[in-house]
Amino acid sequence: MANHAQQNLLHAYLDDELDLVRSMELEDHLAECGDCAHEVASYRALHETMQAANLRYEAPADFRSRLEGELHKEATPEIQPVVVRRVIPWWSWAAVAACLLLTAAAFLVNLSDRGEKRLMAEVVSDHVRSLMAGHITDVVSTDQHTVKPWFTGRLDFSPQVRDLSADGIELVGGRLEYLDGHNAAAIVYQKRKHVINVFTWPSAGGDEEPSVSAQQGFNLLAWREGGMYYCAVSDLNRQELTEFVGMLRK
């Protein structure tokens, strides 16, 4: 093939990737060399056949919607600093353990029932799973009038969602927690880069003032009000978390 055009050049010519001079040289050659002209015609035919074959696969609609969901989950945790996000599984265990302790303390009398204890443990594991999966919110909105109605029809109670933007607290969204046929709500707020989770579910018993606790640098406030149990967890300092709960209960 010494006298024939290089194969690479033929393809570059067909793909319009040759500069003008080399392109003209090649055309001169094709005018004289039947073999190379034949080769070019054959590859043109191949190209046309491929274009006619409609080779493109389009992303199916169900794939697109699934991907949207995955990206959504991916998008939510980024409201937190990267460091916090990485630490979440570890923190969450501490937070959850502390929360469970508080819950147990608050319900010490009522919780004599083993079934209810098991239910609480289930709440915890449900919550931890959601955090570990990076699944912080089901509904993302800074608008309480979006977040609160979102729970309607999903829960048999209406969780409290407050607009505290005037106080520097941003509403991030909400999340459902499922446990043994019972539902709970998690309302997610943010102060600066600190995420605050407020867990709430209906609970029998009289009102109780918030009790503070700390677990490995994590602060928790738990209280009972109007037949609902609340537990706020954050890496905010104790004073700020207490102020936050104060605003929430105003």
Partner 1 sequence: MANSTPSAERIARFEAIVVPHLDAAYNLARWMTRNASDGEDVAQEAMLRAFRFFDGFRGDDGRVWLLTIVRNTYLTWVRRQIPQQNSAEFDERLHTDIETAFTPESDLLRKATGEQVRRAIGNLPAEYREVILMREIEQMSYKEIAAITQSPLGTVMSRLSRGRSMLRQLIAGERRAEVKVHG
Nearer to partner 1, 98 or 131 (CB): 131
Distance CA(83)–CA(146), nearest Å, equals: 29
DSSP one-letter string for 1-58: -TTSPPHHHHHHHHTT-S-HHHHHHHHHHHHH-HHHHHHHHHHHHHHHHHHHT--PPP
Nearest to 195 by CA among 147, 243, 150, 137: 137
Q: Which of residues 78-97 bind partner 1 (CB under 8 A)?
A: 78-79, 81-82
Side chain identity at residue 24, one-letter code? M
**Distance in Å, CB of 123 to partner 1, minimum:** 28
Residue from the set 71, 104, 121, 133 that interacts with partner 1 by CB under 8 A:
71
Note whether 143 binds partner 1 by CB under 8 A: no
Edge-to-edge strands, sheet with 218-225: 139-140, 169-179, 182-191, 194-202, 228-234, 218-225, 208-215
**Distance in Å, CB of 49 to partner 1, minimum:** 5
Where helices occur in 107-219 by DSSP H, the ranges are: 114-132, 144-151
**Distance in Å, CB of 94 to partner 1, minimum:** 23
Note whether 54 binds partner 1 by CB under 8 A: yes
Residue from the set 4, 22, 64, 118 that interacts with partner 1 by CB under 8 A:
64
Residue from the set 31, 46, 104, 133 that interacts with partner 1 by CB under 8 A:
46
Note whether 110 binds partner 1 by CB under 8 A: no
Q: Is the dihedral of CA 136, 140, 145, 151 positive or negative?
A: negative
Note whether 45 binds partner 1 by CB under 8 A: yes
Note whether 51 binds partner 1 by CB under 8 A: yes
Nearer to partner 1, 36 or 245 (CB): 36
Q: Which residues of the shown chain bind partner 1 in the complex (CB under 8 A)?
A: 7-8, 10-12, 15, 17, 38-39, 41-60, 63-64, 66-67, 70-71, 74-75, 78-79, 81-82, 193
